[in-house]
Amino acid sequence: MTAAAMTAFQVGAKATRDAFFLSSFSIALLPAMMAAASGLAVLLAYAVSRVLSRWGPSRVIPAAFAGSALLLLGDWAIAFRSPGVAAVLLYLHYSCLGAVLVSGFWSLVNERFDPRTAKRELGGILAAGTVGGLAGGLIAAQVGRILPVTAMIPILAAFHLVSALCMLPLGDSAGVGASSARSESGLEPAGVRTVARTPYLRGLILLVFLTTISEGLIDLVFKGQAATALGEGGALLQFFAAFYVAVSLLTVIVQAVASRWALTKLGPARTAAILPAGTAVATAGAALVPGFSPVVIARGLQSVFFSSFYRGGYEVLFTPVPAREKRAIRSLADVGASRLGDLGAAAIAQAVLLAPMAMANRGQVLLVTAVALSLVTLVIAHRLHGGYIQTLARGLLSRKGHLATTMIDDSLTRLTTLQTLGPEAFGRLLEGPEEETPTPPAMDSGAPADPFYTRMMPAPSQETEDERRVRELHSADLGQVLRALQDGPPPVSLVPHLVSLLAWDEVAREAIAALRSVPETGPATEHLIRYLLDPDEDFTIRRRIPLVLATYGSARAFEGLLHGLEDQRFEVRYRCGRGLAHMLDVDSTLSAPRETVLAAVLREVAVEAGVWESRKLAVIEDEGWSTMVDELLQERADRSLEHVFTLLALVLPREPLRIAFKALHTTDPYLRGTALEYLESSLPPEIRRPLWPYLEDNRPRQAAPARSQDDVIEELLKSNVSIMVKLEELQQAAVQERGVGVRKRPFETSEGS
């Protein structure tokens, strides 16, 4: 409602301002009037930015709307005695205070939406504003037909009074962005100089500045030709009103058909870039084809693109800016930069007017200048896309400490969040189960000795120190095995013997520590990589090898873990991914090939939803890697999503991704929306499309289609492999409990349970 009333004022006031001023003064005075209004607007914008930084838009803007209505009524009273003075005051009112109020309204709206929600909801607000603009234009047209131009002034006052009343319920508690503003309320107001030094904000200010100059030059040519063709008074008001009505109708159509699509598919920066691109084409046509109609078309398209594509994209571009900075700079960006743009347009126009050339040629020069500026603006708008992503990341990083207090209570979601993406502390593992130690799955007093070691090992009195350790490592005595593991750093020759102990849960921790202490040499790394990538090797061994390789820190170990991302077993891939992430955290000189990692991510997200949601770890023994999950481990965590984010963090900015993952599972909709917008803007499209259903909780849930009996039977037959895996694992466990026989290696499948 506020947007409708406010935009009705803007359209009606613009038509009234132009008709009133051109009816009272010559077109030659218009550049000087633009310059005076621009200078006053910059001063007012600076003052308003200071007030908004201190009090916030929800307190200031409603009162300012009410004050504007009173000032308009005063201007109406002056118009009866001094129309020229009233025309100047109305021009200044619209150009200065009207622009400040529009900026303040959008500041208030901007603080109430996270970036992703803004892309969805701003379309409705813009559409309401467009309908209001249509109503304002129709009212102005009717007034111009039957009443004097000054009769519009009290109607304009009524529009601002309605805006003030509609904004009263919008307190600080309304909207998801309010918490963001409150969290920064204790900070000192951001200085304009500090904020202006931010490259992204500089880009936004430059975008507004150049856009306004182009618009001003086209508008000057448009108004000059309109005044020449139609004269002055009511006819001019009717033409301007009809023009703005037509523009509003076209804007409604474009908003309904293309605005939402453009924001979703192109992003806010590229959506805003549609304005300078379209303006350059239309204005070039007007420059090449002289006449009033091409200028009208160029001005109309510029207005349509501004109100549909540009306004929506520009508002979303401002959404991730912290509220403290936004309040300090928003009025200067919206009003100050635009009024300086008007000043620039007026200066260019004045220089052209003073040049010795025909009036028609002067118009062509202004149009060509507008084309050149639009092309420069197009480049700047396109470059804002990267700044937008960086600002989203900065917003996530700045609210990192707020995550702990906003985690959802649901245990599944909470644990999924906490178990991800922090710098892994590889130096420790969780303690094993506090149960009676079962008989080791190697030799014992009741089992025959391994014939290979019985034949090869000499008698105890003749054995060397290393041979003693080998014998003890393969003994059935837990004490001897632990003593051999803890008896100093082992040589490389013992690596194969140590690897076999990774399958024994009771000594796995000590075996991992011993392997980590092996002198880091090529043979040791190659041994471990060979075991890791051998699909016939014991699965328990293979899923623990990344715990060792990731601590070696060599490029060859990194390469081996990359190859592990192609393994058939999810748990091996999962631990290789975490190992790679740890190595990158420790050594910034390492780098993962982008194509290799993205191919691994695509393989992960290409599975069916049932497979994705059923992935779990056989044993949650290495969750001590993350410093955040010591007390909250459960098997229900979404390991698939965690694994994908871990892989993405290998080639994309790691810290924003980690925070974005956690923010997806908070109770703060502003944080979650910012995270979704960051991911949508930064993820490669081929990754984003299949991954997105797993990120949005509100994705449509469709019932699975009915399947034929043959399809069900075929799926059961395929599941036979997984059943055999489970049976072999159970058989192995039974053999280990009895302490007889030698461990069997489980059959590998693509997605073992």
What is the Cα–Cα distance from 685 to 687, expressed in whole angstroms?
5
Element (H, E) at 64: helix 57-79
Tell me, what's the pLDDT at 401?
Answer: 57
Neighbours of 619 (CB within 10 A): 16
pLDDT for residue 726 = 57
Q: How many residues does the chain have?
A: 753
Token pair recorded at residue 309: 């594509």
| Whether the Cβ atoms of residue 41 and residue 335 lie closer than 8 Å to each other | yes
Which residues fall within 8 angstroms of residue 51, CB to CB, at 6 or more apart?
Answer: 60
Spatial separation of the C-alpha atoms in residues 129 and 143, rounded to whole Å: 21
What is the number of helices (H) and of strands (E) in the chain?
37, 0
C-beta pairs of 254-258 under 8 Å, 24+ apart in sequence: 254/304, 254/305, 254/308, 254/309, 255/123, 255/126, 255/127, 255/130, 255/307, 255/308, 256/127, 258/308, 258/309
**Alpha-carbon torsion, ordered 508, 509, 512, 517, to 10 deg:** -140
665: DSSP letter: T
Task: From 493, 502, 512, 514, select the one nearest 440 (Cα to Cα).
Answer: 502
Helix (H) or strand (E) holding 675: helix 669-682
pLDDT of residue 736: 58
Q: What is the pLDDT of residue 205?
A: 87
Distance CA 129, CA 8 (A): 7
What span, in angstroms and rounded, lies between the C-alpha atoms of 368 and 352? 12
- Compute the CA torsion angle 91, 97, 103, 107 (nearest 10 deg): -170
Which residue ranges form the domains of the chain, and what is each CATH number? Answer: 2-172+184-398 (1.20.1250.20), 411-433+494-694 (1.25.10)
What pLDDT score was predicted for residue 636? 41
**Residue 480 · residue 512 · CB < 8 Å:** no
pLDDT of residue 561: 92
Residues of the chain with pLDDT under 50: 172-189, 408-459, 623-637, 697-704, 740-753
The whole-number pLDDT of residue 231 equals 64
pTM: 0.62
pLDDT at 385: 87
